[in-house]
Amino acid sequence: MKMTAREIAERLNGDIIGNPDATATSAARIEYGRPGNVCFYANPKYEKYVYTTNASILLVNRTFKPRQEVKATMIVVDDAYAAVAEMLNYIASLRKSNRRSSFLGRLFTRCRISGKVGRGTYVGTFSVIEKGAKVGRNCQIYPQVYIGPDVTIGDNVIIYPNVSIYHDCQVGDRCILHSGCVIGADGFGFAPLEDGTYKKIQQTGNVVIEDDVEVGANTTIDRAAMGSTVVRRGVKLDNLIQIAHNVEVGANTVMAAQTGIAGSAHIGEHCVFGGKSGLGGHITVAPNTTFAAQTVMANSVKEGGKTYMGYPALEYMHFMRAYAKFKQSGATPAAPKPAPTQEDKN
C-alpha cells in the first residue's frame, strides 16, 4: 500500500511544500519517523523532531512556521490532529479491503450458520451463528466468533475473533467489537439466604448497543435483570471495561481502560471517564461530566460540565485545594526521638 504526497494532500485538502511524488507506506510517530513513513506535528514540544525526522511526509498545521530547513515533504492542513485521524482511517480502510479479499475465498468455511446473514457479509472459520440470529449486510465476522440465538446485528459491523454475543442482544450499524469482548453475560445478581448461601437471580433482559459504538478487547457488558442494558450511539469503550446490568451509557460518552460501572447507573451524554475510574450502583451522572483517572463516584452528579477527581470523588478545584493542604500537613514531619541511652534505661 503506497501513498504519494499528492494523493494524501488531495484527500486532506492540504497544500504541499516539497516533492509531491514523495511516497509513504505507513504512518509513524514523528520521533520515530523513517523513510516511507508519514508523520504529523501539532504539539509544540515535538518541534525539534520536525527538523530531525527521517519521515518522507509530514502533516503540519497552517500556522506552523519552520525555523530551520525541513527534509520531509510537508502537507499543510487546517488541523493536523483531525487530518491524521482521517489519514489513519483511510489506511485502515485499505488494509481491511485487502483482508476482506483474502476472507472471501473462505466464506462460510468450517463454520456453523443457523441464522440469517446479509449480502456482502463474510464469516470466518469456526464461527457460530445460532438459530434466529440476524446479521446485516457487509459485516465482517472474524474466526471463532459466537453469535447466540435471536441476536440482531446491523449493517457494516466488524466483530473480531473470540467475541461472544449472548442470546437476544442487539448491535446497531457500524459498530466494532474487538477480540474477547463479551456482550450479554449474566449480570451479578444473587440473593442472600438465611443459611449464608446465595440464590442466583435470573437475568432475563438483554443488551442493546446502538449505532457507531466501539467496544474494546476483553470488555464486558452484562445483560439486564429485566429490560435492557443500553449503550447509546457513538459510545467508545476502551479495553478491560465492565458495564454491569441495567446500566445506561449516554450517547458519545468515552471510557478509558479498566473503568467499572456498577449496576443500574445512568450516565448522560458526552461524559468522559479516565482509566480505572468507576461509578457506584443506582446513581445518575449528568451530561458532560468528566472523571479523572482512578476517580470513584458514589453519589449522583446532578450538574453537568464539571470534572471530578479522587476517592471519594471531589470537584477538581476542591480536590486540588484538599491535596495542597494534605501535602502541606506532611511537609515538615516531627523529628524522630533519639534512641534511649543506657542512662535513660537505668
Query: What percentage of the chain has pLDDT greater than the value 70?
Result: 90
Cis amide prior to 312 (ω within 30 degrees): yes
Q: Which residue has the cell 501513498?
A: 3
pTM attached to this predicted model: 0.79
Q: What is the mean pLDDT of residues 45-72?
A: 95
CB-side neighbour CA atoms (13 Å) of 65: 0
Domain ranges within the chain, ordered by starting residue = 3-103, 163-327
Q: Three-class SS of residue 53?
A: coil
Residue 242, pLDDT > 50, answer yes
- pLDDT, one tens digit per residue, over 276-312 is 999 999 999 999 999 999 999 999 999 999 999 998 8
Question: Are residues 2 and 22 in contact, defined by beta-carbon separation less than 8 angstroms?
Answer: no
Q: Which residues contact 230 (CB under 8 A, 6 or more apart)?
A: 207, 208, 210, 247, 248, 249
**pLDDT given at position 343:** 54
The dihedral formed by the CA atoms of 315, 316, 320 and 326, expressed in degrees to the nearest 10: 40
Residue 332 has pLDDT above 50, yes or no: no
Judged by average pLDDT, the poorest of 96-110, 188-202, 294-308 is 96-110
Bridge partner residues of 214 (DSSP): 176, 236
Q: Tell me which fold the domain 163-327 belongs to.
A: UDP N-Acetylglucosamine Acyltransferase; domain 1 (2.160.10)
**Sequential DSSP letters for 58-100:** EEEETT---SS---SEEEEES-HHHHHHHHHHHHHHHHHHHHH
Pick the more confident residue, 110 or 28. 28
Q: Which three cell numbers stand for residue 327?
A: 501535602
* CATH number attached to the domain at 3-103: 3.40.1390.10
Residue found under cell 507506506:
25
Q: What is the mean pLDDT of residues 245-272?
A: 98
Task: Pull the grid cell for residue 181.
Answer: 469482548
Quick one: which of 89, 86, 44, 92 has its CA closest to 67?
44
Residue 234: the pLDDT is: 98
The verdict on whether 282 is a catalytic residue reads no
Three-state DSSP at 167 gives coil
pLDDT band at 144 (very low <50, low <70, confident <90, very high): very high
- Which residue out of 167, 245, 282, 318 is catalytically annotated? 245
| Mean pLDDT score, 18-23 | 96
* CB contact set of 272 (below 8 Å; sequence gap of 6+): 253, 254, 289, 290, 291
